[in-house]
Amino acid sequence: MSEVEQKNIARLGSMRQKQLFNQINALHYQGAPLIICMQHKNHEYCIYLKANPDPVSDERITATWIKDESSPAALSAFNLVKIILNTNRDAYEFKPEVYRISDRALSFTLPETAVKSGGRKQFRFTSFKKEIPITLTQNAIVFSGQLLDYSANGILVNLYNGESLSFAWLNNSHPAMLTIQGENHPVYTGQVSLSPRDHGQYLLTPNMDATPRYNAREYRSRRQQLVPSPDLIFDHPITGKKVRLKISDLSSLGFSVIEKASRASLIPGLLIKDAIISFTNNLLIPCMAQVVYCEPDEKEPGTVRVGFAILDITIQSHLQLINFVQQAQNSSTYISNQIDPEDLFDFFFETGFLYPKKYAEIANKREEMMQSYLALYQKGVDISRHFVYQHQGQIFGHFSALHVYRKTWFCQHHAALNNQRAGLKVLRAISEYINDSYQLNPINLKYIIGYYRDANKFPKRYFGDYVGELNDYKKTALDCYSYINEARRFMGGPVGLEKDWSLEPAEKNDLEEFCGYYKKTSEGMLPEALDLLPEDLGDQTMTEAYKANGLSRRRELLALRYQNSPKALIDIQSTGIGLNLSEITNAITVYLIDPKPEYFDMVRFAICDQALKREKASDPVMVFPNSFLNSCDFHVDKEYTMWTLNVPQGMESYMAWMNRFCR
């Protein structure tokens, strides 16, 4: 029956027999039941049962009982009171003059008219593909039951009291918690108010207060209106109907849609496990989303604005989504787009990022580097992100990040073409990406690190000055390293370890000693960020991640000990050539635990021994703390400062810092 016909029937206040025929056939088509009210012959209480009608061709109707654990053992003890026919807008009641009840079915003849039992302002969903179980909890008392009909303003349920529960225990003046069960998981849990109907039936009104999924933040992901706007497509987890709504605005963590108020079917807390953001038929972004608010839309009377939070989305889909949002804000901003490595290297040469000495170090490894860059910039690997400001085909700014430790990403390759604004734009792009991404996947994104020289004014200002002004080392900190271009510079010293010295694979107690030393001398986060905690020892997560992306990464950790007491950790890392042009990911890094100058010769031997064994004599060496080599009168080539940001704790303050310079 069309909606126009239903409106005409509603105005009349009754439904004629011909219309009853059509409506019952509509119920059969939808798989929706009739509601049968029965009264006990002796005790006079009422029960409500469901029965599926057969197709109607004449006045006589047969409806088969839908039985569950609450159904009475025998229906002979009950009389028929009325039959309720639910439409989406109204309910109609009638009592047939002729009927027959058996344990299998109810047979009856249709009367001339059915009376409307009450008008509905809200479209109600009564036809479900199968029974939907619910639980209602109040003060530790749990009632099970099933959902009878549903709308955003009211949920009609039938509760089972069983032998040990009494409906008198439900306090109608206090709220309860309703859980609606989907196929394999709850699809809704929320607070409801109670309004009893007939025996065992309750109309539950859901609490429509907003239920934010994420902690409140000052710097939320920016929402963008797209033209044309994408669609949200999903199978409603309660009604089972296919829903398609226009997305009003979109961000990398959520979106909002507009529903017609009279047909609203979304309530705060409703979980949509298999939602699809559809840009075109060929560009679909799947995600899991949850309704967080429903409020009247001031711009369109008679509509409701519904906000969703994205709870789960694949890494690549999230990158696509962020790219759409940032492109809408600035068409020259790109995230992890395909770039020709030749264009990128032209940009590096033009900006001076690849200065002559640095290029001389890598020139003989050009082909191997190109293979790495093809993987990073054209295949879309999971362990790398790049952010590009590109206008009319020319790259003006570039920033990349590499996943180097389990919870840590390394910011690298930041350059801009005589244009500080381009440098700021890519820095802002990666900051917004981090600010949003850690909400969805906090497991592998807790720390951001970056290395810079104090002579480089840009990172000194936007990283170093930020740390100094904030002065909160639990959120952000600096650690200084000495940098030596090639390990062979340490050669010419001892040819072996002295008595009582050993160089062996590190053990947990060695890392405990280093953490103890670090905490005494620094308030930063170096051991946590660089996987140097005792529980990190031997973890192969990153080795496997690089392998899965067709790249290589190895790490070995040795302990230099004197009389079984650790004096230094020797951290030997190897990745594909070119993943980091400063080759910090290919370095030998020494972490002193007892930085006494008299230990220099043994540290020197350990570096040379490992460099020769692993053919790393041309690779750089980094030494922490930077004061050690200076105290040993050993000339260093450079000094690097490592900036660390604790993303969950410090990202808000960093976004505030960045907003001073770029909006």
Tell me how far apart the alpha carbons of residues 354 and 347 are, in angstroms, rounded to a whole number: 9
DSSP alpha helix (H) spans, 356-485: 356-362, 366-378, 420-440, 457-459, 465-470
Q: Give the tens place of pLDDT for each residue, 393-436.
A: 788 888 888 899 999 999 887 777 766 577 788 888 888 888 87
Number of structural domains (the chain) is: 5
pTM of the model: 0.75
Residues 490 and 472 in one domain: no
CA distance linking residue 140 with residue 165, whole number of Å: 12
**Does 228 sit behind a cis peptide bond, omega within 30 degrees of 0 on the bond before it?**
yes
- C-alpha closest to that of 384 among 585, 230, 652: 585
- Tell me what percent of the chain is helix, strand and coil, each rounded to the nearest 5: 30, 35, 35
Total residues belonging to the chain? 663
Q: Which domain holds residue 302?
A: 231-318
Among the three residues 283, 318, 353, which one is the final residue of a domain in this structure? Answer: 318
184 near 190, Cβ under 8 Å? no
Residue 60 lies in a domain: yes
Beta strand 271-280 pairing with 113-118: unpaired
Domain end residue (candidates: 118, 142, 168) = 118
Q: In this predicted model, what pLDDT tens digit does every residue of 490-525 receive, in sequence order?
A: 998 898 999 999 999 999 999 999 999 999 999 999
Residue 325 within a domain: no
Q: Is the pLDDT of residue 220 over 70?
A: no
Cα within 13 Å of Cα(55), Cβ side:
2
Q: What is the CATH number of the domain that holds 144?
A: 2.40.10.220
Distance (Å, whole) CA 406 – CA 540: 9
Whether 484 and 630 map to the same domain: the answer is yes
Q: Are residues 522 and 624 in the same domain?
A: yes
Name the pLDDT band for 604 (thresholds 50, 70, 90): very high
b/e map 239-266, b = 16+ CB within 10 Å? beeebebebbbbbbbbbbbbbebeebbb
Same-domain check for residues 276 and 144? no
Asked if 504 and 626 sit in the same domain, the reply is yes
Residue 181 in any domain: the answer is yes
Taking only the tens place, the pLDDT of each residue in 278-291 is 988 788 999 999 99
One domain, residues 405 and 484 = no
Q: Are residues 171 and 34 in the same domain?
A: no
Chain CA centroid to CA 543, Å = 24
What average pLDDT score do residues 233-250 get?
92
The domain spanning residue 390 has which CATH number?
3.40.630
Q: Which residue has the higher pLDDT, 533 or 88?
A: 533
- List the structure tokens of 258: 């507009």
